[in-house]
Every structure is written in C-alpha cells, then in structure tokens.
Amino acid sequence: MTCGHWRWRVATTQRDMDDAARIRWAVFGGEMGLLTEQSALSRREMTSIDTLDTTVHLLVHVGSEPVATMRVALSNAEVAANLGGPVGLELAQRLDLSGVIRPGMVFAEPSRFCVLPKWRRTQAVSWLQAAMYAESRRRGVTHWIASANLETDSPEDALLASRVAAHRGWLSPRWRVDVPDPRQAPKRPRKPFYTPEERARAEQGLWDGLRVPRSPSLFATTMGARFIAEPLYDAYFQWFTLPLVMALDEIPADTLTHFHALQDGVSPAV
C-alpha cells in the first residue's frame, strides 16, 4: 500500500523474489554472519518453503528502493503429509503443535522479518507489520505461530531472556508447548546477549530493567504476541528463538489505529 513515498506489495515477480532474497542475505549473512559461505556466492537467502504456492512474500519500498521483507507461510497440505501430521507449517518439524490447534483456527507462520539496517528507526517496521496483518486478514488467517530471534547461541542467555519475558507478563495463559533438548547448540557460545552485570542482576532477582531481544519485545508490545515454550534452538541460523502465538483478533487497538493511519485511503500496490 502507498502513503507518500512508502508502499508495500506482495511479491509476484522474479525481481520481487530477488529483492526479498537479497534483503534477507544482507541481514542474516552480511550483517549478522549467520549464513554459510556458499550463500555468499549469490548473496541471496532462500529455502524450500519460499517456493510453495502457500507462501506469501511481502516487500516494503521507499520510493523504488526495497528496504524490508518478510514471508507468511500458510499451512501446506504437502508439508503436513511429509511431516505425518495435521499441521503443514515449518515450525511443526521442530515442535508438536497439535495442542495449539483448535477448530476454526487458521494458522500461518510469519518468518524472515528483515529490515535493512539504515531503515530500522523509520516507519519500515510498522509498514511490514501492517502488510503482514492486512494480507493475513485477506487470506482468512486467525492466528500466527512463529519463533522470535533471541540474538544468541547461548542456552543460558536464551533462558534468561525467556525469564525476563515471563516477568513482563508475556507468557501465554492458554498454550504451552514442549521443546526438544537443544543438543545441537554449541558448547562454547559465540554470541552472548547479556553482560556479566546483567546476569548478576538476574541471579539477585532484579528483573526490572533487564533487556529482552528486539524481535520478541517488538511482537509482544505491538502485536500482542504471547510466548508458548522454552527457547528453541534453530540449527539453520545457529541461534535460539522463542516460540509464540499471535491472535489477529487480539492485536492491541493502538497498533490497529496506527496501521489504519498508514494505510488510510489507499489500495494494495501491484
């Protein structure tokens, strides 16, 4: 959608997909160093989920420049059959989601939420969230289920982040999912999140003021996300994530007001 020089669009062309893949590599590979050297040959990050006809790719532009992207994967019958269960989402490969699904619920899995560094303190994040909401509503989605980046490969720091989130009241009162033992996590973490001083404060029970990584904090405060499990290790990116559920009907009113203000009087870009 457009407003001034900002707009969002659903990726429909090879160029769109190329833009999305390049942004993802710029963030995950070039900036964060989480991808293999092989992916650096093309400087694009793509997986098999990206090519499914049930996967929607969203792009945010400033003028003609693509500055942010994400994908929303709807449940896929082939994925469900390959996993041998009722849930055709990638996350079901690592978590048993059967206890979350209820009749009438339509789940989608948002992921690869990427904003180029120089655009992170702009409207880009809000535009990407607004695009996710509008397109999911259009497709009949009632809930998102995802796993937010905890910015660390340290089991101790990941667990501490989840405890801080719990202290802030961000655990789901309805759902709880067990996670597998993170045996693939490195024995000597390379990416700590908390400082020794912050860990010492936590040991003393001084939770107020302790940080939560950006992604879970963003989705908890703006989209009403609630966390449903202990930290989950993602072997692809080699970091911990925090599984969550977001109900579209429970998104905070001020967030929806902001979305409407961005999109007032305009139509989807094509």
Exposure of 185 in the CB half-sphere (CA atoms within 13 A): 22
In a domain, 21, yes or no: no
Residue 267 confidence (pLDDT): 41
According to the model, what pLDDT value does residue 265 have? 44
CA atoms within 13 A on the CB side of 45: 25
Q: What is the CA radius of gyration of the chain?
A: 18
Predicted confidence at residue 38, as pLDDT, reads: 66
Q: Which of 63, 190, 80, 60 is nearest to 134 (CA)?
A: 60
Report yes or no: 128 and 214 within 8 Å, Cβ to Cβ.
no
Residue 8 in any domain: the answer is no
Q: Would 26 be classed as within a structural domain?
A: no
pLDDT of residue 36: 76
Q: What confidence score (pLDDT) does residue 35 get?
A: 87
58 found inside a domain: no
Mean pLDDT by 10 residues, the chain (270 residues): 76 97 96 81 93 97 96 97 93 92 94 96 95 98 98 96 98 93 81 96 96 97 97 94 98 96 60
Give the separation between CA 144 and CA 207, rounded to whole angstroms: 28
- Could you tell me the pTM of the whole model? 0.92
Does some domain include residue 77? Answer: yes
Domain that holds residue 191: 70-116+125-263
pLDDT of residue 252: 97
Q: Residue 39 falls within a domain, yes or no?
A: no
Q: What angle do CA 189, 192, 196 make, to 5 degrees?
A: 120
Q: Confirm whether 13 is domain-assigned.
A: no
- Let me know if residue 147 belongs to a domain: yes
Is there a contact between 220 and 165 (Cβ–Cβ < 8 Å)? yes
Q: Give residue for tokens 């693509």.
A: 66
Nearest to 235 by CA among 166, 184, 171, 161: 184
Give me the number of domains the chain comprises. 1
Predicted pLDDT at 270 = 42
Among 2, 23, 265, which Cα is nearest to 131's?
A: 2
- In this structure, the strands spanning 143-149 and 107-115 are parallel
